[in-house]
Amino acid sequence: MLGEGILKGLAETARNFFGSYVSKDRLTTIQFPEERAPRIEASRNFPFLVYDGTDPMAGLRCVSCLICEKECPPKCIFIEKSTDKKPDAVGKPQFYPSKFNIDISVCMSCQICVEVCPFDAIKMDNAPSPTSTTTRSIPPKPPT
């Protein structure tokens, strides 16, 4: 019968429409500001520098070996190596970056800097970036 396929298809859309009220698999949408997807540990946003202790500048793990600067595919890391040494978190004198710039507009979040770092001094951030220009309009994060 002509039109049978169309009617069967309509039955399928009806099943999906009514099913979306009862079945979670048929409606995967998350109503964003009120409801949030759990944060994924592996997800990667932009790299940041890791520090030990409480003072970010004193406890910086980076010894400015310049490996990440060399390996970064789009060359978005710019490091200026210090001329003097400073004690790190365990008290050993180390070089430190007097400048560590990451051009976020160039970074493509590929995580290669994290992989090549021998000191685990750089990691990827997994915080979602805000979708609003002001922090006030974002509702507070629901308790986890």
Residues forming beta bridges with residue 97, ordered by sequence position: 81
Of 18, 32, 33, 43, which one interacts with other proteins (CB under 8 A)? Answer: 43
The site that binds other proteins (CB under 8 A) totals a number of residues, namely 33
DSSP secondary structure code for residue 51 in this structure: B
Rg for the chain, CA atoms, rounded: 24
Is 123 a binding residue for other proteins by CB under 8 A? The answer is: no
Is 115 a binding residue for other proteins by CB under 8 A? The answer is: yes
Is 110 a binding residue for other proteins by CB under 8 A? The answer is: yes
Q: Cα separation of 144 and 103, whole Å?
A: 32
Q: Each residue of 18-27: b (16+ CB within 10 Å) or e? A: eeeeeeeeee
Q: Cα separation of 58 and 88, whole Å?
A: 7
Is 8 a binding residue for other proteins by CB under 8 A? The answer is: yes
Of 22, 34, 42, 105, which one interacts with other proteins (CB under 8 A)? Answer: 42
> x/- string (CB under 8 A) for other proteins, residues 57-96?
----------x---xxx-----------------------
- φ/ψ of residue 55, rounded to 5: -90, 115
Q: Which residues bind other proteins (CB under 8 A)?
A: 2-6, 8-9, 11-13, 15-16, 25-26, 28, 40-44, 67, 71-73, 108-112, 115-116, 124, 126
